[in-house]
Each structure stands twice: as structure tokens, then as C-alpha cells.
Chain A
Amino acid sequence: MNAIIIASLGAIILMLTNLFFRKRSKLLSVFALLVVILLIVFNTLEGQGLLFFYPASLNSAFFQFSNFTYLFNNVLILTFLIYILLNKNYLLLINPDHSADIYALLFFVMTGCFLLTSYNNLLSLFLGIEIMTIPLYVLAGMDKKNQKSNEASLKYFLLGAFSTCILLMGITLLYGATGSFALNPFNTLNTTKLLGQVGMLFIFFALLFKVGVAPFHFWVPDVYDGTPNVFTAFMATIVKVVVIIALLNFINALTPNCIGKSYKTIVLFVIISTLAIGNFSALSQPNVKRMMAYSSIAQAGFMLLALYALNDLATQGILIYAIVYSLSTLTIFAILNKFSLATFSDFNGLAKSQPLMACFLTVALLSLTGIPLTGGFFAKYYMLSATFFSGGKYALPLVIICLIFAGISAVYYLKVIQAMYFTTPPVTSDHASITIQPLATLEKSILLLVVIAILFLGIFPSIVTQWLYF
């Protein structure tokens, strides 16, 4: 609860800041970091039972807080902290006149995220989704003069608004079937009520759209590609992960009775088509950023395995997956920031010119591939074993298919590694074509910590999951 309040207050203050302190852009980052630290402190304290702003019982009609919520909020906040530290210079560069607005919008998105991790009511779900996405539409178009950014923004907006309509229709139909917006009365909902079923499915589809999985993934590549790098990093990590958690909460709130028997078949189809589309499209992308867009679709497919498995192992798995995926993706995007153009050939010989950068990128990519001793291995391992243990006769084929696609994903991730280590940089006559900025010291140290965290999770994955039970 404190997280929601602090994040929204921070956002409002930052929004007003732009009126008075237009030129003091250095202070902005400091203030933003301060708010983030407050968020961590208050969220952790609240998790320990110390409340400040919300005296009454926490689990109200609108919100429900559990260990998982607090843990996940902390994960989000830490990811956000890393995100800001890695990107703060670039956040100021995108649109110098509106840097305070950018921070304000980011904090609004975070508010929406916190709503989504703790909602207990369809109204808070709806508000969370909207508070999260409307600022994102703006952020996508923040690079006003760039036509690609404009296009990404407009596409994101139109498609997003359409999916909001689907979500609302779903909520309304569920309301019509149950007479309440709360998540719990769904127990009374059974498979015979046509309206309720359609409503539930509509909400499900709308959330799948926000995650960006097939067949609702079409916005992802275009929007990720057109959006300025810094915001793509934000959308591909925090936002994506949060929506999956929201989706998981939504499905968990439904009893097996009202989920219906063909739920798993649909999820199965969604996962397989997502993996196929994400991986196959990523294979032949010349541009690393767009490759990352497709790879994030594929990774979302892996995360959706939690929706298939729906057991404790899946909950732990999604937590690890979210952390590892976010950290790896943030690392990759932080390095992509340094490139003016990011085709595969731009990475040629990076290991020679920027060994540290190449090393960080390698760990992140290996982690996304799922190589042991990186966190990505355990992330995938948890998800796959969750699926495997969930039973059902499609579990084993699904695991096999996922493993095959994980193998395919190795091809395009390794292509980058190969370019960095195994090709010599082209002998250019000092063209402007290769403009790779070096990493700043702060970025270096943050990335080093991130990489260590990724490797650490590859050795001690149970450390994180144990927090779930404290």
C-alpha cells in the first residue's frame, strides 16, 4: 500500500517540478532515486508489518497483500532502481525540456505496477492497467521528432486502447454474471454461465495482449522497435513482468471449476505459438534491438508456463524468471544504449574494443539462453519442472517443445556473442558508422553487480525463493 502511495506522490511532485525547476535536471535523478529508496524502505517495512499510511486492515475490497506481493514489489523497485541508475543520462537526453515529466510518467507507471501486483478487485485491475499503460503511450512517443517513435506511440495507443475495450467488456460481463467486481465471488461462477465465461476470457485475452504473446503480440515488435531505447528497456522488463503477475493472480483467483476445462488447451496453444513466432522471427532479424523485441516475446512464452502449471513451483519459478529476465534484459539494453545502430555487424570485435562490455553482454545473453551457472538456467529449469509436475498428458510434449525452442533461441543469442568474440572488427576508414560509446564508471559498477547477481542466481537460486516463505 505504501508503495502505491509513495510512487503516486512522487509522480505528482515530479510532474509539478517541471513548472519550477526546468533546468535543474541533475536534481531530478537524485530526487527520483530518493523516491525509489523510500519505496524500498517502506515496502520492506510494510512487508514486516510496519504500516505508515494505511492504518486499517490491508486486505480490503480493493487490495490484497501477501508475502509474494511484497517480495515482488521489492523486485520491481530494485529493478526500477537499476533501470534508473543505468539509464539516467539517457532519460535526460530524450527530451531535455520534459525530463521531469519523463520521471513523473515512469513513476505513474510504477504506481500502476504496484496496483497490479496487489489488486483484489476488477476495478483496481482496470485502474492499474490504465495507470500503467497511458503513461507508456506517451513515453513511446517521447522522441517527438522521430517518426519511428511517433509511429510506435500511435500504434501502441490504438492497439492498447482496443485491448482496454476488450478488458472493460470482460469486466462488465463478469459483473453481469456475478454482480460484483471483487475477485473472490468468482467461486459462484461456474461453467454454465455463458456471460461470465466470455467475460473471464475477455479479461484473459486483454491481459495476454498487455503481456504481448501470440496471437496478441503484434504490437510488441513495432512498438519496441520504434520506442526510444530507454523506454523499450522499461517496457520489456518491468511492465511485461508485472502484467504476467497480474494475469497469474487473476487466474489463481478463479477456482478450477470456473477456469473451465479447455483453459489449459488455450494456454498450451498460446505458449507454443508464442515460442514459435518469437523464436523464428528473431532468427532472421538483422537488428539486435528488434531481435530483442522478438526474443522478449519468446521469453514471455516461457513465463506463461506458470499459467499452464499453476502450482507452487510455478510461483517460485516466475519470481526467479522475472528477476533473471529483467536483469539480463536491462543489461542488454544498457549496452544497446551505447550503439547508434545495432545490427549484428556492429558488434563485430566488441570483445577487443570493449572487453568489459562484451563480457557483461555475454553473461546476459547466456542467461537468456539458459546456460547453466547463469540464473537463466534455473529460471527455465523451474518453469519447465513446474510444467512437468503439473501433470496432464500435454505436459511432457510441452516441455519438449519448450526445450527445442530454447535450443533455437541459442542460435540468435550466440550470434551476438559470436560477433563480439569471433569476428574481427571491420577495417573502417574511420567512418561514423561505428560509434560505440564506452561505459561510464557508474554504469560499469552497476552492470558488474547485475552480472554478479545473474551468476549468483545461477548457483543459489533457492535464496530468492526462500524469501517467499518468511
Chain B
Amino acid sequence: MQIQYYLYLSFILFGIGALGVMIRRNAIIVFMCIEMMLNSVNLLLVAFSKVQYALNAQGIDGQIFVFFVMVVAAAEVTVGLAIIVMCYRNTRSIDIGLMNRIKN
């Protein structure tokens, strides 16, 4: 099994996500980028799990971990969206570039 392709794909997704977090100012998009990074990790986990299975027939760990990541991601989504909505209600904007009432 050619693990490196999965690695490349996952790194590319992770990189795109990180880049998005760095340059986008819309909170929802930043959040989506973070989700993309999480999913790239999931992909990599599954791939590694498969490699482990091929090596010594015990690769279930990684796949179970993916479920945990998903559950946690779901929790994060709930909390995150709630926070974004709360901000939107108060300021009518979700531009994180404008969020600099606290600084220095």
C-alpha cells in the first residue's frame, strides 16, 4: 500500500486549511478551514491504521480514534457556531478582522 500518497493528500489538505485560517477573515470560512484540517487528520489516521493492519494485523486503533475526532469535532461545531451566532447578534458582523476591541 502506497502510504505516501495519502500522506501528501492529507498534508495538502492540512496546508490549505492552515492557509485559509491564516488569510481568511470570515469567521465561518475560518471555521470551515479548521474543519478541513481536522478531516485531513482523519484521512491520515485511517490510512495509517490500514498500514498498521497490513504490517501486524492490529490496526483498529486509528480507526477508532477517527470516531473520537469526529465526536469532538461535532462538539466543537456546536460550540463554535453558537459563539459565531452570538457574536453576529451583538455586532452584526462575523469579520474577525474587525474583532480588535481587545489588543495591545
Contacts and interface: CB of A to CB of B under 8 A. Distances in A.
Question: Taking the complex as a whole, does A directly touch B, i.e. does some CB pair lie under 8 Å apart?
Answer: yes
Given A150-B86, A150-B91, A175 B30 contact: no
Contacts of A98: none
A152 interface: yes
B41 A169 contact: yes
Given A123-B68, A165-B38, A141 B86 contact: yes
Nearest to B64: A123
A152 B61 contact: no
B76 A161 contact: yes
Interface stretch (A176-184, A264-272, A319-327): A176-184
Given A137-B79, A154-B99, A181-B65, A168 B41 contact: yes
Contacts of A126: 68-69, 72
Interface residues of B, number: 43
What is the interface of chain A mostly: helix, strand, loop, or mixed? helix
B75 A130 contact: yes
B58 to A, nearest CB: 8
Contacts of A161: 31, 34, 76, 80
Interface in A130-183: 130, 134, 137-138, 141, 144-145, 147-148, 150-155, 157-158, 161-162, 164-165, 168-169, 171-173, 175-176, 179-181
Interface of A: 123, 126-127, 130, 134, 137-138, 141, 144-145, 147-148, 150-155, 157-158, 161-162, 164-165, 168-169, 171-173, 175-176, 179-181, 221-222, 225-226
Nearest to B81: A157
A154 B90 CA distance: 13
Contacts of A138: 79, 82-83
Contacts of B86: 141, 144, 150, 153
Nearest to A153: B83
29 contacts: A126-B68, A126-B72, A127-B68, A127-B72, A130-B75, A134-B79, A137-B83, A138-B82, A138-B83, A141-B83, A144-B86, A144-B90, A153-B83, A153-B86, A154-B27, A154-B99, A158-B21, A158-B30, A164-B38, A164-B72, A165-B14, A165-B37, A165-B38, A171-B65, A172-B45, A172-B48, A176-B51, A179-B55, A180-B61
